[in-house]
Structure 1
Amino acid sequence: MKPFIFITRKLPQTVIEPLNQEFRVEMWEKEDVPVPRDILLEKATGASALITMLSDKVDTELLENAPSLKVVANLAVGYDNIDLKAAKQKGVAICNTPDVLTDTTADLTFCLLMAAARRIVEADRYIKEGKWKSWSPLLLAGTDIHHKTIGIVGMGSIGEAVAKRAKGFDMNILYHNRSRKPEAEKSLGASYVSLDELLDQSDFVVVLAPLTAETEGLFQKEQFLAMKKSAFFINAARGPIVNEEALAEALETGEIAGAGLDVFTNEPISSEHPLLSFDNVVALPHIASSSTETRIGMMNLCVQNIHAVLNGDKPKTEV
């Protein structure tokens, strides 16, 4: 019998056609609804490979009940939804989709920064709601981006790509990372600083760090109090890095000027969430890598990884 592959979200047939030629493939057919846990567990029991989303937990329970599983291809660069230790013990290869989404994610991150600073969403809503009656000198006046200081928390490939964009705006670039990046410092003029220094000096604090035991809950009330009152907080990494209650309080009390958020602790976020009540918050539904070209590229990379492992070859992007 052909090896069985289960895909946890509907993907274009053109993407999965190479798998259909060699393997038995089944897909969860709903694009916008996560596969229910019980169905995922059921399908995993006979699967040789899974293509998963960030919303799918690949934990000990799943791995213990998937004796044929050889590879999990996660449609993301992050893999905090997967128990890597348990997967290693079971001999299951875990693959992600790095590099292919770097520039697309950096574009969206800088877009969030600009939208928050220049009040783009507010202005769009203002005109569409018929509120624009005349030109006035400080109508929806925002904050300049050029020549300001950007502080990047997490200087991986996406962080460096954001710094490259900031350089084009003549921004002063600070970064905090678990290790220094001398080449980035040289090519981008970035300066390595402590987190405290970054918070104190930055006009825009941009979070691009992975979600780990060290970064979970990194931003609390203390961190927002350390920021400039004129500063903006941008998060395009993972929601749990931030205490959302502390962020909402900082916005409510004016401790920071605004925020641009692509990620949240619980996704999808409720429309009643306090963070969505602020005009100075730009909120997006976790779409940093969501360009057609990039998402298709990510899907193709997942397919290539699965094809390689099931044919006895080394995967292209194993975690």
Structure 2
Amino acid sequence: MQQRYDDRPDIHLTTLPVTSAPEDHAATLQQAHAYQISSAKDETPARWFADERLLAHMPDLLCVSTSGSGYDTVDVEACTRAGVLVMNQAGANARSVAEHTLGLMLGLNKRLAESDHRLRRGGDFSREDLMGRELYSKTLGLVGIGHIGRRVAELARAFGMHVIAHDPLLDAETIGQRGARPVTLPVLLGEADIVSLHCPRQADTLDLFDAQAFAAMKPGALFITTARGGIHSEAALTAALQSGHLAGAGIDVWDVEPPPQEHPLLQMSNVMATYHTAGVTHEARRNIATWAADQLLATLDGQVPPRLLNPEAWPRYAERFQRLLGA
């Protein structure tokens, strides 16, 4: 990413220490036209979130860019009111997250973590005590089939799985083109042997998977999420696993990250847990940094960013762009 900016002497890049406060960098923030921010809400102090408080320090700000597909650290509505464009890097880590999703499916179905833990602890047990299942011929239900979901569908089909999907943002033809049979959410919950979440965290998806949704899932099904914390209820998932209604869960995202060590889901042998690392690969981080730099530079050159989240901000943004940059 640095090379992208080095090739543009008209762009001045400043990195602000996350441990500092906006008040410590008043002059820099006053002049800033673009702001790059982490997508990780639990790793970014709230004082650096792109919200009304920070925008008050940045009167010349034109655009905010997140370092991933998520934008939990950005108040999109506040940015829109201020005429500030918001963009993400959706798709940059899609392959990494899709592979991680398949890894969780394989790990749960083959009981890999359980086997590893039992061997390390020692004791008497037979191989049959850890008997797993194949992915072949199982039905995978995708809740969301965007950048990541479509790649999960591709990998799942390579394992001989049947793929169904629910995505209210896409029509049936598009879902079919992306490798899945379109279904309603109730049908998906009733048919899928494995349910995998790939939808964004927003007002209409918060607590989408509550006690009622888990109860509607097929008995003995697996639940996988590499989406965002808050889309599923951790308490409801815990109850569904404790009751035996669900056979297991693979969880990469949490309400609080990392989750506390005493979290009930971390005490269960049929839960495979990771720390929001699905998209944390060398390849994905390189893609995100490169995409973010290219998109910011193009936006500052007057182009429409390809991954714009608030197009309704464009009229006011365009007026401010012309006034501030004379273009």
TM tier, smaller: 0.7 to 0.9
After TM superposition, the structure 1 stretch with the greater mean CA deviation from structure 2, 87-96 or 230-239, is 87-96
Q: Which amino acid aligns with 2:103?
A: C
Residues 1:185 and 2:176 are matched in the alignment: yes
Could you tell me how far 1:78 is from its partner in structure 2? 2.1
Once the two structures are superposed, the pairs formed by residues 263-278 of structure 1 within 5 Å of their partners are 263-278=253-268
| CA distances 1:165-217 after superposition (whole Å, capped 9, x unpaired) | 111121121111103341442562x2222211111111101011111211111
Asked if the contact 1:235–1:263 (Cα under 8 Å) also holds between the matched residues in 2, the reply is yes
Match of 2:122 in 1: 131
| CA distances 1:61-108 after superposition (whole Å, capped 9, x unpaired) | 222331121221101112233222221222222121123222221111
Asked if the contact 2:115–2:130 (Cα under 8 Å) also holds between the matched residues in 1, the reply is yes
Match of 2:14 in 1: 26
Residues 1:87 and 2:87 are matched in the alignment: no
Residues 1:298 and 2:283 are matched in the alignment: no
SS in 1 for 2:283: helix
| CA distances 1:146-173 after superposition (whole Å, capped 9, x unpaired) | 1011111112121111111111121121
Could you tell me how far 1:290 is from its partner in structure 2? 1.6
Match of 2:208 in 1: 218
Match of 2:21 in 1: 39
Asked if the contact 2:209–2:232 (Cα under 8 Å) also holds between the matched residues in 1, the reply is yes
SS in 2 for 1:315: coil
Give the TM-score taking structure 1 as reference length: 0.85
Distance 1:151 1:84, change over 3 A: same
Could you tell me how far 1:286 is from its partner in structure 2? 0.8
Tell me, in whole angstroms, the C-alpha distance in 2 between the residues paired with 1:272 and 1:187: 40
Match of 1:239 in 2: 229
Tell me, in whole angstroms, the C-alpha distance in 2 between the residues paired with 1:122 and 1:156: 32
Residues 1:200 and 2:190 are matched in the alignment: yes
Give the TM-score taking structure 2 as reference length: 0.83
Could you tell me how far 1:42 is from its partner in structure 2? 5.0
Asked if the contact 1:41–1:62 (Cα under 8 Å) also holds between the matched residues in 2, the reply is no
Asked if the contact 1:238–1:264 (Cα under 8 Å) also holds between the matched residues in 2, the reply is yes
**Identical-pair percentage:** 31
Gaps (5+ residues) in structure 2? 310-327
Match of 1:102 in 2: 94
Distance 1:16 1:41, change over 3 A: farther
Distance 1:158 1:72, change over 3 A: same
Tell me, in whole angstroms, the C-alpha distance in 1 between the residues paired with 2:23 and 2:77: 19
Asked if the contact 1:304–1:315 (Cα under 8 Å) also holds between the matched residues in 2, the reply is no
Could you tell me how far 1:318 is from its partner in structure 2? 2.6
Once the two structures are superposed, the pairs formed by residues 110-129 of structure 1 within 5 Å of their partners are 110-127=102-119, 129=120
Tell me, in whole angstroms, the C-alpha distance in 1 between the residues paired with 2:300 and 2:191: 50
Tell me, in whole angstroms, the C-alpha distance in 2 between the residues paired with 1:219 and 1:232: 13
Match of 1:16 in 2: 2
Asked if the contact 1:52–1:73 (Cα under 8 Å) also holds between the matched residues in 2, the reply is yes
| CA distances 1:22-77 after superposition (whole Å, capped 9, x unpaired) | 34433355xxxxx35x6256544443222111224322222233112122110111
Tell me, in whole angstroms, the C-alpha distance in 2 between the residues paired with 1:147 and 1:214: 32
After TM superposition, the structure 1 stretch with the greater mean CA deviation from structure 2, 39-48 or 172-181, is 39-48
Q: Which amino acid aligns with 2:173?
A: P
Q: Which amino acid aligns with 2:82?
A: K
Q: Which amino acid aligns with 2:140?
A: I
Q: Which amino acid aligns with 1:19?
A: Y
Match of 2:36 in 1: 51
Distance 1:314 1:222, change over 3 A: closer
Distance 1:67 1:107, change over 3 A: same
Q: Which amino acid aligns with 2:176?
A: E
Asked if the contact 1:206–1:234 (Cα under 8 Å) also holds between the matched residues in 2, the reply is yes
Residues 1:142 and 2:132 are matched in the alignment: yes
Match of 2:162 in 1: 172
SS in 2 for 1:241: coil
